[in-house]
């Protein structure tokens, strides 16, 4: 099943690799030596996050992908 959650990837000089984060799922992130590896790893992490949330009967947020990106772009353009 394809993931519909937003994913951010950035380079970390401290870690000497790429960090992929799903800002919609608290604490969901992964590391990779390449952007592609980080993306692949965070997709696995998203699946595990969702499986765990279901098992623990926690609330799972609805994906807001585009809306979240628009909101971030708007905040960035206003310097916030």
The band of 55, judged by pLDDT with boundaries at 50, 70 and 90, is very high
Q: How far is CA 73 from CA 8, 67, 76, 77, in A?
A: 13, 10, 5, 6
Whether 30 is covered by a domain: the verdict is yes
Which range has the worst mean pLDDT, 37-41, 46-50, 59-63? 59-63
Q: What is the CATH number of the domain that holds 47?
A: 3.30.160.250
The band of 64, judged by pLDDT with boundaries at 50, 70 and 90, is confident
Q: Provide the residue range defining the domain that includes 63.
A: 8-77
pTM of the predicted model as reported, rounded to 2 decimal places: 0.78
Whether 49 is covered by a domain: the verdict is yes
Whether 3 is covered by a domain: the verdict is no
Whether 2 is covered by a domain: the verdict is no
Whether 1 is covered by a domain: the verdict is no
Whether 14 is covered by a domain: the verdict is yes
How many structural domains compose the chain?
1
């Amino acid at each position: 099943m394809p993931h519909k959650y937003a994913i951010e990837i950035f380079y970390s000089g401290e870690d000497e690799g790429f960090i992929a984060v799903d800002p919609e799922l608290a604490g969901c992130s992964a590391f990779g030596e390449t952007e592609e590896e980080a993306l692949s790893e965070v997709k696995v992490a998203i699946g595990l996050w969702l499986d765990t949330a279901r098992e623990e009967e926690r609330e799972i947020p609805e994906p807001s992908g585009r809306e979240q990106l628009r909101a971030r772009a708007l905040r960035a353009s206003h310097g916030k």
